[in-house]
Amino acid sequence: MRKLIPDLICASVFDIDFGDLKKRKISGLLVDIDNTLVPWGEPEMEEAFIHWVRKAQKEGFAICLVSNAKRPRAQSFADLLGIPAVGLALKPLGRAFRKGMALLNLKPHEVAVVGDQLFTDVFGGNRLGIYTILINPISRNELDSTKMMRKLERRMLERMVRRGDISVQLAQIRQGSDYDE
């Protein structure tokens, strides 16, 4: 269960404190695509998310997209942003996270994983000793299998609160979205 506990929970990527990450000596971000930066299945990224990536880069962060989406989808967003991508990642398996770190020439303690799923992004990152940031999904539209996992995620977060693994406030940030209701 410890491998499912995120290091940080934020409502969205916009709430990530770059200064705090720098204090932790993090200089790279492995960022999920679907429902983290782009609504699942949508072909275009909103300007606000493009701006967030640019801001992170200006703050000195190297960024690689790491997504379970098919490679052409991941690559189209990587091309838009001018950054590397690992598509068809098969998260939570470690291969894609390691490839993303290699593309950024960084080690696990130098990167953070940013994503909307406990069982793929957080579990996969934690297994490799990477700092993990869980955010709320930006859309309710997603695969049926993911929707089922959201219910299990909610139960796991509730259990983490009961055990004292995360604070009630952090769980409320995650559960505060209307997604899970």
DSSP string for 45-107: --HHHHHHHHHHHHTT-EEEEE-SS-HHHHHHHHHHHT--EE-S--TTSHHHHHHHHHHHT--
User: Percentage of the chain surpassing pLDDT 90?
Assistant: 69
Give residue limits of the domains in the chain.
2-176
Q: Which two tokens stand for residue 89?
A: 């990642």
Higher pLDDT, residue 138 or 170 = 138
Contacts of 9 by beta carbon, 8 Å cutoff, 6+ apart: 133, 134, 135, 166, 170, 171, 173, 174
The predicted model scores a pTM of 0.88
Quote the CA–CA distance of 101 and 113 in Å, as a whole number. Answer: 10
CATH fold of the domain at 2-176: Rossmann fold (3.40.50)
- Residue-level pLDDT at 126: 97
Quote the CA–CA distance of 70 and 5 in Å, as a whole number. Answer: 27
pLDDT tens, position by position, 123-134: 999 999 999 999
pLDDT tens, position by position, 22-60: 999 999 999 999 999 999 889 999 999 999 999 999 999
Report the 10 Å Cβ neighbour count for 86: 26
pLDDT mean across residues, the chain: 89
Scan for tokens 């995620």, then name that residue: 153
Q: Phi-psi category of 60—alpha, beta or left, where left has phi over 0 and alpha has psi -120 to 50?
A: left
Quote the CA–CA distance of 65 and 161 in Å, as a whole number. Answer: 30
